[in-house]
Amino acid sequence: MKQFGSSLWRVAHGREIELGKRSVIMAIVNVTPDSFSDGGRYQNVDKAVEHALQAVADGAEILDIGGESTRPNAAFVGPAEEQARVLPVIEALSKRTQALISIDTYREETARLAIGAGAHIVNDVFGLQKEPAIAALSAKTGAGLCIMHTGRDRQKLADIIEDQAFFLERSVEIASAAGVLRDRIVLDPGFGFAKETPGENLELMARFEELHRFGLPLLAGTSRKRFLGAVTGREPAERDVATAATSVLLRLKGAAVFRVHNVAINRDALAVADAMLAARNDLQTAGSDLQNLSATL
């Protein structure tokens, strides 16, 4: 078991959040008609805001607002339509909650407008490698960055962790070259994004602690993913228990942030994991104190 050391994730508008000591939940708010799990349910602004506020009441500290589905073969959405979907939701939420707001986009223009509307974080599923100008935007505005690994549109390396390193090291280089400080960055290994088989996703889970090589906080985004359906035989909306199981397993391997659909079930599962980790740390501290005392006698 590994617990990533405590650190502050500094984000736009002078905000910050502590990562590491306890699990932080990022709620998924899809303002889309075609997302794989909940497409169309929150496409209306009022419904999206209501859903987001309920997620905060259930324990979410970050709200991730997306206006374009990232599922395989999803319909293309242009920037104007994406912005029309997400900006009214972000504007409304910025006035009604103190939760951090994340914009799920790979477009610099959408990210810039979202930050202006009140967003604190840019969650880029192409890891700054589709529109690198997002890095300069972060440096200018202080926005937090969630940099995700993807294998889409390129040839992957055979070893799953080496491919993570190949891609994410380039992403971090883009951020650094633009002047983004490391305390603005969280990394996401991108479960389900061109991980072609259930086995590939499960191997990524099994080797998750190897991602601490980057020295940056890690986000886990397994919620309702297809590989959980392969394991359980359940449809997307029925995969919340399986998601919570992965959240606990990845928490024990050092994940700090958890991007999920069902906040309440993951909150409870992660509360147990956090309590166990705290008890383990107390025991280790007590043992160390006892050793130190014995050494002085």
Residue 207: active-site member: no
Which CATH code is given to the segment(s) 7-286?
3.20.20.20
Q: How far apart are CA 158 and CA 282, in angstroms?
A: 40
Give yes or no for residue 1 having a pLDDT over 60: no
121 membership: H or E segment, kind and range: strand 121-124
Least confident of 47-51, 58-62, 121-125, 285-289: 285-289
Q: Is 62 helix (H, G, I), strand (E, B) or coil?
A: strand
Check residue 153 and give its pLDDT. Answer: 87
Residue 259: active-site member: yes
Check residue 33 and give its pLDDT. Answer: 79
Check residue 32 and give its pLDDT. Answer: 85
- The answer to whether 67 touches 125, Cβ cutoff 8 Å, is no
Give yes or no for residue 111 having a pLDDT over 70: yes
Give the active site residue among 195, 225, 253, 267: 225
Q: Quote the pTM value.
A: 0.92
Check residue 44 and give its pLDDT. Answer: 85
For residue 9, give both structure tokens.
């994730």
User: What's the sign of the alpha-carbon dihedral 179, 14, 65, 228?
Assistant: positive
117 membership: H or E segment, kind and range: helix 108-117
Provide the residue type at 134 as one letter: I
* Mean pLDDT, range 163-175, rounded to an integer: 98
